[in-house]
Chain A
Amino acid sequence: MRKANLGVAIFLFLIGAIVMFDSVRLGWHYDPSSGPGAGFLPFYLSLGVLLCTGVFIVKQVMQLSKIGVVGDEPLIQEGGLKPILWVLIPSTGMVLLIPLIGLHFAAFVFLLFYMRVVGKIGWLECILVSVLFPIGLYIVFDRLFLIPLPDGMLGNYIKLPF
């Protein structure tokens, strides 16, 4: 966990540095004619991030060099990474499919894949859930509440009858 702590702190430190860079470009001074510039608050925010993460990084490095990583808990507990990736990668896949085939069809593929391959659930149940849920949500959102959800490139070809 200590290494991950350090890594995240360094990442946030870099974000702080980028924001500071940009706020200097935007003008962080108080301008007598127009008041505080657009970079005024971001500058102090990034300063805060740099200071806090800086102190934290120094503390972490000192701790690491003193006691090392011995006896440290890992960030992700044993056997925990696999189920996380099994959620993360298919959901990312679903999101990437949306521009192609639309949200509801992408969700159909995602639901079917996850339940069948990861959850090892019977075919009948899988197909029922992954067909009925997208249809139900389509009716509620797209039809009842008139919120158009992305239908992707397929939308031009497939018009649902309801």
Chain B
Amino acid sequence: MAENFHSLMMGISVSMQPYNFMIAMIGLVLGVIVGVLPGLGGANGVAILIPLTVAMQPISGIILLASIYWGALYGGSITSILFNIPGEPWSVATTFDGYPMAKKGHAGKALVLSFFSHFVGAVLGVIMLSFFAPLIAAFALRFGPAEIFSVMVLTFSAFVGLSGKDPYKTLVSIFIGFILAAVGMDIVTGQLRMTFGSIDLMGGFNFIVAVIGLFGLGEIFLTVEEGLKLESTEGGKVTFKDMAWGVKELLIEWKALLLGCIIGCWMGLKPGGATPASFMAYGFAKQSSKHGDEFGQGASAGIIAPEAAAHGAGTSAALPMITLGIPGSPTMAVIMGGLMIFGLLPGPMLFVEHPDFVWGFIGSCWIGNFIGLLVVLAFAPIFAAVLKIRFAIIMPIIVYVCAIGAYAVNNRLIDIYYMIGFGVVGYLFKKLDYPLAPLVLALVLGDMAESALRQALLISGGSPIVLIKPPIALPIMIAAALIFFWPSISGLIKKKRLKVGPG
């Protein structure tokens, strides 16, 4: 423990170096802008900037990418509260109570509450990251291919069982993601797969391009279809009085805060990401509150719970990414893609081989989230003004920047065509309620999952029993099966209760 604490201090000092500190500031400001703009989300904001990090040191690169994510997490709520336009999907739940509160003339208070809850969620997530990551990584060193594969099965069954979406559609999303990852040259045999003689397909599909298309262009199509309705409220300036009030309110609504943090950390760990976490926390807070009827009219708890959950999920999503190589949210998946470009393969070995890098990253999570709070508290109205620029100006610029990002990943023109194709797919999938996060995650993890599976089968001589081998793979697989069938299981339990219960 003492050793970890020492490493953490070292990591914080790395991220406090002037250059890295500057990078973090740039990342945070860019991130908040990304967060404020609808149609430019955390995942594709990070994806677009990955090419820029190639010229940097790995640690500075990851600080930039992570800071964009922290900034986007904070920034999404600004426009939710002031304009009733969620800048990010994870701040949709904030509009339910944040905007009504702002409309009553308490915009500053709503912003303070949201930022403070974000910060508390972040701190809890980072504490978990700092103290559990080394333990999990040490444990994961014992994983062989079969165990790695079983963890992936657990990850994807969580999407099916716990997302509440149509299981068929979730499964199709996962399979399509893996299929897209398989296109191109097979890493083991060198055969060309699903290329049908086309040279362009030989390079396969890069997931960064997919993210930019699915989340970037897809989101733009959705936004222009609905049209952007700006409902402005007064103010947005944060005073010290608001801050004092915010602290008091957090203490009064500590239950909602705690609930949000716990749900957030759990959702971040089990690949759900910040968006479902915020909705879930809102629902739970509403149910458990004594003043449930105040929700929707500007209840403090209705801002606190989803915001703490969103940021808690965002930060704790780094934990499975850095220890197991399995990102807990789509944005973390993109950050992981950035790491792989540096030649750093996230997973337990990263702790052994590059401890200074890992601890530098964890240290930057502390610093980044703290500075992020100060940045948004001080400059929220300025960032909000970004949205006053007409969408007809912002939109084509976003498309342009997306095209640059898609091209620069591999310097291939074909990727920009793919990006537009993915944009249309993203729009259709969003509309028809096919979840996008599992598709992206499958595309990222495709190669890793496949080689793990093939190695495991090679070791066992073709017997699939190896995938459920005790002591590690078996319980993970059982957990995966339970989670996969959770909707039917919980349905059965409810039915039984109804029969037994007082009737």
Contact B168 A119 (CB under 8 A): no
Asked whether A36 and B454 contact (CB < 8 A) given A111-B400, A150-B413, the answer is yes
> For chain B residues 157-193, which have a beta carbon within 8 Å of chain A?
168-169, 171-172, 175-176, 178-179, 182, 186, 188-189, 191, 193
- Does B458 reach chain A (CB closer than 8 Å)? yes
- Does B251 reach chain A (CB closer than 8 Å)? no
Distance, CA A153 to CA B411, complexed state (A)? 16
- Does A61 reach chain B (CB closer than 8 Å)? no
Least distance between A81 CB and chain B CB atoms (Å): 8
- Does A161 reach chain B (CB closer than 8 Å)? no
Residues of B within 8 A of A94 (CB): 399-400, 403
Residues of B within 8 A of A71 (CB): none
Residues of B within 8 A of A64 (CB): none
- Does B138 reach chain A (CB closer than 8 Å)? no
- Does A45 reach chain B (CB closer than 8 Å)? yes
- Does B432 reach chain A (CB closer than 8 Å)? yes
Closest residue of chain B to A19, judged by CB? B179
- Does B240 reach chain A (CB closer than 8 Å)? no
Q: Quick one: which of B186, B224, B453, B461 contacts A87, CB cutoff 8 A?
A: B224
Residues of A within 8 A of B411 (CB): 148
Question: Residues of B within 8 Å of A, CB-based: how many?
Answer: 60
Contact B397 A56 (CB under 8 A): no
Q: Quick one: which of B171, B193, B217 contacts A52, CB cutoff 8 A?
A: B171
Contact B457 A30 (CB under 8 A): yes
Number of A-B contacts (CB under 8 A): 178
Distance, CA A26 to CA B191, complexed state (A)? 8
Contact A98 B179 (CB under 8 A): no
Least distance between A53 CB and chain B CB atoms (Å): 6
Contact A95 B428 (CB under 8 A): no
- Does B229 reach chain A (CB closer than 8 Å)? no
Asked whether A133 and B225 contact (CB < 8 A) given A12-B172, A145-B55, the answer is no
Least distance between B185 CB and chain A CB atoms (Å): 9
Distance, CA A121 to CA B428, complexed state (A)? 30
Asked whether A133 and B400 contact (CB < 8 A) given A36-B458, A53-B172, the answer is yes
| Residue from the set B188, B393, B461 with the largest chain A CB neighbour count within 10 Å | B393
Asked whether A52 and B172 contact (CB < 8 A) given A26-B193, A115-B393, the answer is yes
Distance, CA A21 to CA B236, complexed state (A)? 58
Least distance between A40 CB and chain B CB atoms (Å): 7
Contact B462 A32 (CB under 8 A): yes
Residues of B within 8 A of A141 (CB): 51-52, 404, 408
| Residue from the set A23, A99, A107, A125 with the largest chain B CB neighbour count within 10 Å | A107
Residues of A within 8 A of B225 (CB): 76-77, 80-81, 83-84
- Does B387 reach chain A (CB closer than 8 Å)? no
Least distance between B165 CB and chain A CB atoms (Å): 13
- Does B317 reach chain A (CB closer than 8 Å)? no
- Does A139 reach chain B (CB closer than 8 Å)? no
> For chain A residues 1-59, which have a beta carbon within 8 Å of chain B?
1, 4-5, 8, 12, 15-16, 18-19, 22-23, 26, 30, 32, 34-42, 45-46, 48-49, 52-53, 55-56
The 3 A-B residue pairs with the shortest CB-CB distance, nearest first, are: A119-B392, A80-B225, A83-B224
**Interface of B with A (CB < 8 Å)?**
51-52, 54-55, 168-169, 171-172, 175-176, 178-179, 182, 186, 188-189, 191, 193-194, 196, 217, 220-221, 224-227, 390-393, 395-397, 399-401, 403-404, 407-408, 411, 413, 416-417, 420, 423-424, 427-428, 431-432, 434, 450, 453-454, 457-458, 461-462
Can you name 18 A-B residue pairings with CB atoms under 8 Å?
A1-B432, A4-B431, A36-B457, A36-B458, A41-B450, A52-B168, A55-B168, A56-B169, A81-B225, A84-B225, A103-B403, A115-B392, A119-B390, A119-B391, A119-B392, A145-B54, A147-B54, A149-B404
